[in-house]
Amino acid sequence: MKQALSRISNRIVTLFSIIFKVAQRQADHKKLTRHIVALNKQQSSTGIINEVALCLKDLLNYRLFAFVIQKEKGMDIWLDPGMYKKSLEDIIVKDFRVENRESLTYLNHTFHSDNTEEKFNMKNLVFYESNEENCLLRLYMLPDKNNYGYHDEIVNLVLQGCSTALSRQVKIEDLTDAAVIDPLTGCYNRREFENQLKRNIAGAIRHKYDLSMFMLDLDHFKKINDTYGHLAGDKVLQEVAALLQKNMRTGDILARFGGEEFIAILPETDKIKAMELADRLRIKISSKIIVHNDDTIKVTASFGVSELDRRADMTKIIQDADTMLYKAKLNGRNTVMPGLMKIISHKESEKRKCYTI
């Protein structure tokens, strides 16, 4: 009798388990459908990946999620949570044979040296991959609950849907970049710089924040071309542009203004802070050694700094930066004008004084 009851009980448990799994599967597929529809409405790479993250969080409640897009121009990473950056990055560097970690771009985080990071055990990490014509996509994940057999099917359906959307979006972004990006340096071109400046001036007026600018010119650049050749000159421009972009904030806007001139928009930055940044960049440029074939090339730069005035005149802020750049050239080059040498505060209640050259 007991054995019969036990068999009946086991059958009931099995039956309810099957019913529960079927119901759970149906519920998950309904959620999946909603997310796929939302995913295809997104109009940016970050929007698409964010929807994938929301979908997999909803269905699998992951402990770690990372989405990697390897494109011709670099590698984009979406990571959640950010505290596991180092552990995950070590795997990405190994899997993709990345030689320079600085080529990795994090889409949803800005990391600093003082960010909290934790080591993470990656032994149970799973990954899914899709290879499109213009990008390689890889999803890393560690689900936080027991997987049903159909969860692999769900993840593959999500990846298939986002792969198509991302491939299409990368093509759109490439076409957009071709219209606004200087092909040699990867900075904005002059026309796009003017568009960005108009938008930032409007934002500064609306939100009442500071806006500054610097213009820089590489000193004696013609001599570099004449001595080492134009290919060497191109490499100097590329490496200086990369140095500038690496040492500026994410929200700052850098453009190639023409020839060996660059110009930058610095939102929410007053003139003193802009002068400090310009001087740090000047020092880094003068310290850089650029290798071309068997030659080592050193270059310096002169900077002119300006600030948006009360009239919010776009022409004037550019002219002021150009005038300061001209003065920097007259002052011997490899300098910043106005040139902030130091800031002294005698008392907390006293305004800080700046000494210029």
Question: Which domains are present in the chain?
Answer: 2-180 (3.30.450), 190-356 (3.30.70.270)
297-315 tens-digit pLDDT: 999 999 999 999 888 789 9
Mean pLDDT confidence for 163-175: 80
First to last CA, the chain: 101
Q: Which two tokens stand for residue 276?
A: 């400090």
The proportion of the chain whose per-residue pLDDT surpasses 90, expressed as a percent, equals 41
Q: Judge whether residue 351 has pLDDT over 60.
A: no
Residue 145: the pLDDT is 64
Residue 113: the pLDDT is 66
Kindly state the helix (H) or strand (E) to which residue 256 belongs, with its residue range: strand 253-258
The letter for the amino acid at 110 is T
Distance of CA 238 to the CA centre of its chain: 18
- Among candidate residues 286, 344, 216, the one with its CA nearest the CA of residue 356: 344
Mean pLDDT confidence for 342-347: 42
- Give the Cα separation of 201 and 60 in Å (integer): 45
Q: Judge whether residue 318 has pLDDT over 70.
A: yes
- Give the Cα separation of 144 and 142 in Å (integer): 6
Residue 217: the pLDDT is 96
318 vs 58, higher pLDDT: 318
- Give the Cα separation of 175 and 168 in Å (integer): 11
149 vs 356, higher pLDDT: 149
Q: Judge whether residue 9 has pLDDT over 70.
A: no
140 vs 346, higher pLDDT: 140
Residue 250: the pLDDT is 79
14-28, 147-161, 236-250, 300-314: which range is least confident on average?
14-28
Q: What is the largest CA-CA distance in the chain?
A: 105
Residue 219: the pLDDT is 96
Residue 277: the pLDDT is 95
Q: What is the mean pLDDT of the chain?
A: 83
State the CB neighbour count (10 A cutoff) for residue 215.
Answer: 24
4-13, 202-211, 331-340: which range is least confident on average?
4-13
Distance of CA 284 to the CA centre of its chain: 21
169: confidence class by pLDDT, cuts 50, 70, 90: confident
Residue 341: the pLDDT is 57
- Among candidate residues 292, 305, 299, 294, the one with its CA nearest the CA of residue 356: 305
Name, of 63-67, 120-124, 300-304, the range with top average pLDDT: 300-304
